[in-house]
Amino acid sequence: MSVPILEAVGVRAAYGRIEVLRGVDLKIPRGAVVALLGPNGAGKSTFLKVISGQMPHTDGDIHMAGVSVRDARPEELARVGLTTIPEGRSVFPNLSVEENLRLMSYAGVPEMQVLDTAYSYFPRLYERRYQLAGTMSGGEQQMLALARALTSDPALLLLDELSMGLAPLIVEELYDTVAGIASSGVSILVVEQFARTALRISDYAAVMTGGRIVARGEPGEIQKMMADVMLGGVAS
Amino acid sequence: MKRLPIVAAALAVGVLGMAVPAQADDTPSYGGFSSEATATPLRLEVHEPAIPIPADPELEFDFSYTHVAGSSGPSATARASAMWPGGPIGEGLKTFIEQLGLPAELGAAGYPVQVNAQSPGTPSSQSQEFLPGMIGRVAVDDKQAVARAGYSTDGEVAGDDASGGGGNAITDLLDELKNGNLAALGSLLGGKTDSDPTAASNPLGALSILVSVGGMSSSSKTTYGSDSVTATATSQIGEIDLIGGLVKLEGITVSSASTSKLAGGTTTPKVTYGGLTIAGIPFKFTSDGIEAAGKTTAIPSLPDAPLKALEALGISISLPKPTKQVDGAQASSSADGPTISIDAAPLLKLLSLNKLPLADLINKFPDSAGQVKSLLLALLDAHPKVVLKLGEVSSTAQVVPSVDLGGNPGSTTTVPPKTSPTIPTTGGTGGTGSTGTGDVGAPTAAAPVPAASTPLQTTAATPGLPGVGGLPGALAVAGLVLAGGVGLWLRRGLTSVFGGAGACAHGLQSGLPDLRKV
């Protein structure tokens, strides 16, 4: 069995005295899409922050490609191919679409390559290239955030609440693109509160509640138990 | 690659540090900002795990809710709602409808009872009359974001229902309670009264027995000036009767105002009560204390008999203290009005719901509505805890210094000096003077100007150890080199013997693999 691109072993993390992650174990095989599901406040976003180096963990280990990356800084992880798309998109609202993308060229990728990658994945961004990012719809802003991430040539992509505040049709469209990205060999960890769409494109899934992974398996298995987990056990 | 540190610095500061002045003549003294204000005069929380909503609390209803948020750019959003059900339902209504197996058309248009505005973008302003007399207005531009909402739950304006729940009924109730007759309050809460308080159309439904609210409104506002950013949140309730009039409050205003400047932030949370009557005793007070007969004193506890009666019914009342935090330029505060916590278990016994054949009725639902059916069956056994807050506001504001995008990648921010630099008042040395060190006195016309050939005398700027030279210095350097070498040798030796156990508890090397190449 090949070495997973990401392996979290007993990861714990806390905000002050409040422990949010209570021993998280999770593996992401190379090239796989893993959906991390769970209710609001389960610790999913905190887990992403810990993986991406934005938040220190208090115990446990994080291995990437068989190497311990304890104490690695976020910018160091970003340079070696870990890319995070945070919840809320975080595009620069007063810059145009093209200016938002051009910022990525400052990381070393030629500007033409950045724009070519972005527009080939999302032709709609080409139509909007001179429009201020803040004036676009939520779905288009999410496309821009995805495009910006893709131009950094990620090997491991962390997606936090891609569907937040978006219309279901747009979410379907975005997840189709995520499936396309995955087919190019990028490993993806998708964090979602609402399961159905994320499970559609996932190879594996895990459910987190109360800072722990409480279930993991194939998407079909997880889909069956989601009602129990998400609905507090009332829909069995 | 020289640009990389600049980009990294800009991204690190994020949205806060991304200010691009819209107009050259209106440049703020700060580089970026973030502000937020939220207000609701009546918040109802339901804590019940059986409710299938992945949030804590599982259900929330914020009446006359307003929210504004602003950030560098400037970009801002504003929202007003007659009744905001919280983020999970308000933002994801359609998803919930689907998850519950209900017709998708019900949630196709999203949550309807809200108006929103954003800048940049459209709409920049919006208003809606959600119900007759219930108005929500939002407006956003490049100077401010404002949201306002207000209405009355009982369809009457504040002040005109002064007789509701008061008078002899309360006196009688108190007498009964003092005599140890808990059934009197139980009867009231069970709805067995001569006059039916729920007769009027009321969004609180049966809860209006416990809480009757007159007119209410809230406003949230954030403004960004040339040297400061301000966020204010205010909620107001005209008149409230709690527990059938046992506690009566008039005119509660809960406010929070936060202002941020580079020099520091300030914030003021406050709860003001226009008038209060506890068990027939009138008081006037603010969140700083009760003002009665010219004295400020602590709030008296309720009389023992009613308090015990309330506890027996699972009801408690608290008056939370406002909280505030100032950290440099960042300022934030929050304040809650009187908070009533209701454990439903004793009340449900009084209401005798278990005697009704509700389970049989629910089981007659068609199988196609299985999700709803199982949900309703579970709710029959639910004992929710309900928390009512008569006003909840919060505000936060923060400004940050400008990002230095000049030619010095090592310097990411420009922090203004604590004291203004002394500016030469006479021509004197013509540009050879001190440049912004602040504490250095400027040469005056009478001061002697050193000749260009005069050798400069250097002095130690700060006290410290003298430089180490000669043999002691060489020995120190050699010692450090030797120690480093021994450390490396030990690390390699341990790694080869124990398989890298020194690096990771699982025997893996530490480092940073290139994920694109492995």
pLDDT of B233 above 90: yes
> Which is nearest to B137 in space by CA: B91, B82, B84?
B82
Could you please report the per-residue DSSP string of B42-97?
EEEEEE-TTS--SSSSSEEEEEEEEEEEEETTTEEEEEEEEEE--HHHHHHHHHHH
Distances (CA, A) of A48 to B351, B437, B513: 47, 44, 19
Contact A193 B8 (CB under 8 A): no
Contact A63 B504 (CB under 8 A): yes
pLDDT of A232 above 60: no
B510 in A contact zone (CB under 8 Å): yes
Please tell me which of A208-212, B455-459, B487-491 the model is most confident about, judged by mean pLDDT.
A208-212
Quick one: average pLDDT of B25-35? 80
Q: Name the minimum distance, in Å, from the CA of A210 to any CA of chain B.
A: 12
Q: Which residues of A touch B94 (CB under 8 A)?
A: 167-168
A25, A68, A152: best mutation site toward chain B, by most B Cβ within 10 Å?
A68
Q: B489-514: per-residue pLDDT in tens?
A: 776 666 555 544 446 777 777 888 88
In the beta sheet, which residues pair with residue B314? Answer: none
Q: Which residues of B touch A81 (CB under 8 A)?
A: 514-516
| Residue B356, pLDDT score | 61
Contact A167 B94 (CB under 8 A): yes
In this predicted structure, which of A74-78, B390-394, B485-489 has the lowest mean pLDDT? B485-489
Distance, first Cα to last Cα, chain B: 25
pLDDT of B392 above 90: yes
| Residue B3, pLDDT score | 46
Query: How far is residue A227 CA from its own chain's centroid?
Result: 23
How far apart, in whole angstroms, are the C-alpha atoms of residue A77 and residue B512? 7
pLDDT band at B450 (very low <50, low <70, confident <90, very high): very low
B438 in A contact zone (CB under 8 Å): no
Q: Which residues of B touch A40 (CB under 8 A)?
A: 54-56, 88
Give me the residue from B1, B51, B510 closest to A68, CB to CB.
Answer: B510
pLDDT band at B124 (very low <50, low <70, confident <90, very high): confident
How far apart, in whole angstroms, are the C-alpha atoms of residue A169 and residue A40? 22
| Residue A158, pLDDT score | 94
Give me the residue from A72, A155, A168 closest to B516, CB to CB.
Answer: A155
B376 in A contact zone (CB under 8 Å): no
The pairing of beta strand B264-278 with beta strand B281-286: antiparallel
How far apart, in whole angstroms, are the C-alpha atoms of residue B119 and residue B407? 32
Quick one: average pLDDT of A142-147? 90
How many C-beta neighbours within 10 Å does residue A184 have? 8
* Residue B136, token pair as written in the block: 């929500």
Type of residue numbered B185: L
Please indicate whether residue B23 or residue B401 has the higher confidence score (pLDDT): B401
Rg of chain A over CA atoms, in angstroms? Answer: 18
Using CA coordinates, name the residue in chain A closest to B71.
A93
Please indicate whether residue B3 or residue B278 has the higher confidence score (pLDDT): B278
| Residue A50, pLDDT score | 94
| Residue B414, pLDDT score | 40
Check if the beta carbon of residue A57 is closer than 8 Å to that of residue A21: yes
> Which is nearest to B172 in space by CA: B162, B163, B185, B191?
B185
B514 in A contact zone (CB under 8 Å): yes
Quick one: average pLDDT of A88-99? 85
Q: Which residues of A touch B54 (CB under 8 A)?
A: 38-40, 42, 193, 230
Q: B284-310: per-residue pLDDT in tens?
A: 655 556 655 555 666 555 555 666 666
| Residue A236, pLDDT score | 31
Quick one: average pLDDT of B333-352? 76
Q: B346-373: per-residue pLDDT in tens?
A: 666 665 555 566 667 777 666 656 656 6
Quick one: average pLDDT of A54-79? 90
Reported ipTM exceeds the 0.90 cut = no
B375 in A contact zone (CB under 8 Å): yes
Q: B83-122: per-residue pLDDT in tens?
A: 898 887 887 777 777 766 677 777 777 788 898 998 887 7
Please tell me which of A227-236, B153-162, B321-330, B354-363 the model is most confident about, judged by mean pLDDT.
B321-330
Contact B371 A227 (CB under 8 A): yes
In this predicted structure, which of B148-162, B381-395, B406-420 has the lowest mean pLDDT? B406-420
Using CA coordinates, name the residue in chain A closest to B378.
A234
pLDDT band at B413 (very low <50, low <70, confident <90, very high): very low
Contact B515 A234 (CB under 8 A): no
Q: Which residues of B touch A230 (CB under 8 A)?
A: 52, 54, 99
Please tell me which of A22-36, B40-54, B163-177, B182-196 the model is most confident about, judged by mean pLDDT.
A22-36
Q: Which residues of A touch B370 (CB under 8 A)?
A: 235
> Which is nearest to B255 in space by CA: B37, B77, B63?
B37
Please indicate whether residue B154 or residue B277 has the higher confidence score (pLDDT): B277
Check if the beta carbon of residue A36 is closer than 8 Å to that of residue A3: no
Contact B510 A39 (CB under 8 A): no
* Residue B516, token pair as written in the block: 């694109």
Q: What is the pTM of this model?
A: 0.50
B479 in A contact zone (CB under 8 Å): no
Q: Name the minimum distance, in Å, from the CA of A68 to any CA of chain B.
A: 5
Q: What percent of chain B has pLDDT over 90?
A: 14
pLDDT of B434 above 70: no
Check if the beta carbon of residue B417 is closer than 8 Å to that of residue B436: yes
Give me the residue from A68, A70, A234 closest to B50, CB to CB.
Answer: A234
Contact A68 B91 (CB under 8 A): no
Contact A65 B515 (CB under 8 A): yes
The pairing of beta strand A33-37 with beta strand A187-192: parallel
How many C-beta neighbours within 10 Å does residue B426 have? 11
Using CA coordinates, name the residue in chain B closest to A62.
B504
Q: Which residues of B touch A227 (CB under 8 A)?
A: 371
| Residue B498, pLDDT score | 53
Using CA coordinates, name the residue in chain A closest to B104.
A168
Using CA coordinates, name the residue in chain B closest to A73.
B512
B280 in A contact zone (CB under 8 Å): no
| Residue B355, pLDDT score | 57
Q: Name the minimum distance, in Å, from the CA of A216 to any CA of chain B.
A: 19
Q: Which residues of A touch B122 (CB under 8 A)?
A: 135
Contact A65 B49 (CB under 8 A): no
Using CA coordinates, name the residue in chain B closest to A81.
B515
The vertex-A162 CA angle with A157 and A168, nearest 5°, equals 140
Quick one: average pLDDT of A30-46? 88
pLDDT of B5 above 80: no
Q: Name the minimum distance, in Å, from the CA of B399 to any CA of chain A.
A: 17
Contact A67 B512 (CB under 8 A): yes
B92 in A contact zone (CB under 8 Å): yes
- Please write down the HEC assignment for all residues of B222-254: EEECCCCEEEEEEEEEEEEEEHHHCEEEEEEEE
How far apart, in whole angstroms, are the C-alpha atoms of residue A24 and residue A45? 13
Contacts 24+ apart (CB under 8 A), A210-214: A210/A22, A210/A42, A210/A43, A211/A19, A211/A20, A211/A21, A211/A22, A211/A23, A211/A24, A211/A42, A211/A43, A212/A22, A212/A23, A212/A24, A213/A24, A213/A25, A213/A26
Using CA coordinates, name the residue in chain A closest to B74.
A94
Dihedral Cα B43, B47, B49, B55, nearest 10 deg: 40
Q: Name the minimum distance, in Å, from the CA of A232 to any CA of chain B.
A: 6
